[in-house]
Amino acid sequence: MQHIRARRTVLGALAALAFVPLVACGQDASPAASPASADPSPPASATTVPSADAKALKAEFKDLEGKFDARLGVYAVDTGTGREVAYNEGERFAFASTFKALAAAAVLQKHSPSEMEQVIEYSPDDLIAHSPVTEKHVETGMSLSALSEAAVRYSDNAAANLLFDALGGPKALDAELEKIGDDVTRMERREPELSRWAPGSTRDTSTPEALAKDLRAYVLGDVLGKGDRAQLTKWLRTNTTGDDLIRAGMPEGWVVGDKTGSGSGYGARNDIAVVWPDDGAPIVLAIMSNRSEEDDDHDDKLIAEAASVVADTFS
């Protein structure tokens, strides 16, 4: 879809000054290559310096909250320069199905290539709402690799639960995230319960900053081996559920690998992604949102327009 550019003139003039670089980061992977090993995040002591442009960006995100009657959280980092775009980046949101990318990454990390091809048997009782791939293979079962692909590319819920089983449950995935430095995300329940969130609850929540750093570690860092990084990247780039979200806010020619998520209430809608611009280092971003009433629905345009702000800032 065409890149959304409902932007203010002042931001176009200020984009080059968006934020002071954090630190000199290692060059991450380009679209034509397998992801390279890289420090998954800058040092904790690195900070951004407030600027007029930072205030203008904050105002634009706040305007989007008003336009869509939603709460918005954004964290993005240009991995080449260390520049950040951040808005409510430390606030908790329901992560919903975005966790499936992290679960697949953890499964890849813990299992050898031959183990990834072992067939997992399951029954009709394991099928739950939105299991479009697993429902077709009840009689034959599916390999761990195929289940991971189904969870990431098609957001298959039964596949995600079977990945939990392969890891030892939600708490085991939580422990794997802690090993890569994420002590923020709280993995507690399985599908479909984990997508049932209400304001104030901390179960099955994370922050935009934490999820973006997790994704960066798995896709661009050295947590996974080269082959596993390439496989995860392929699944993310061929995701079938994200055309109207971050992808819709990116310029033509930019390559996006993403994992979407939506909750069963309060209009929760998220997308986490690694984006490879046509020139420059990858951008890692997480955009999360929700609304105030339980029966509120989400609007994908909120995510797309927030992504457009990020793209314009880093262009």
CA distance 9 to 31: 30
* Phi, psi (rounded to 5 degrees) for 260: -90, 170
Q: How many CA atoms lie within 13 A of 299 on its CB side?
A: 15
The CA radius of gyration of the chain, in Å to the nearest whole number, is: 19
Instruction: Dig out the tokens for 315 from the structure.
Output: 């262009």
Sign of the Cα torsion 74, 109, 194, 201 reads: negative
Catalytic-residue membership of 145:
no
Q: Which residues pair with 84 in a beta bridge?
A: 77
In b/e form, how buried is each residue of 181-215, taking b as 16+ CB within 10 angstroms? ebebbbbeebbeebbbbeeeeeebbbbbbbbbbbb
Give me the catalytic one of 97, 131, 262, 308.
Answer: 97
Residues belonging to the active site: 97
